[in-house]
Amino acid sequence: MKIRFKKKHLKTYMIFGILWLSLGIIALFFSSGTILKYGYLVMGVLYIALCLFHYKKQYLSIENGTITKHDLISQKMNLNEIKHMKKFAGDYILKSDTAELTINTEVIEEDSLKDLRALLDNLAIEEV
């Protein structure tokens, strides 16, 4: 099961990427001798790459009893190892003996959020 990002989140990254790329292209033609113009291009490419990464991988995937948070450095946690769950400021904080995973519900699509809540409610976890 995939827990998807909101479309607004993905669009924001794409807009920032296009803006940074536009600034970089404008700086290439009108700027003289400064190295910052390449920084704009790099930022644009990074934002667009991050948007495409988020679009392809999405926020969370839950497969074979493992929950994986996809980011530049992915975090994994086995569902049967979760000892505590805490709801704080709209986030879910899942804790095991060795790891902690924070799930930001602000960036999750509504249908996916319902699926995630149903999954977490079905687990026999102590809420703190």
Q: 67, exposed or middle or buried, with CB in 10 Å at 0-12, 13-18, 19+? A: buried
HSE-CB for 77 with a 13 A CA cutoff? 21
The full set of domain ranges for the chain reads: 2-57, 64-127
pLDDT greater at residue 9 or residue 121: 9
pLDDT at 72: 86
Mean pLDDT (whole number) for 55-84: 92
CB-CB contact of 19 with 123 (8 Å): no
Give the model's pLDDT for residue 128.
Answer: 64
Mean pLDDT across the chain: 90
pLDDT of residue 121: 85
CA distances from 12 to 6, 8, 48, 51 (A): 10, 6, 10, 9
DSSP code, position 51: H
pLDDT tops 90 at residue 52: yes
* pLDDT, mean of residues 40-58: 95
* 73-83 confidence digits (pLDDT tens): 999 999 988 88
The pLDDT value recorded for residue 17 is 97
Name the pTM for this structure: 0.83
> Nearest 5 degrees, angle CA 41-CA 42-CA 43?
90
Give the contacts of 28 (CB within 8 A, at least 6 positions apart): 37, 41
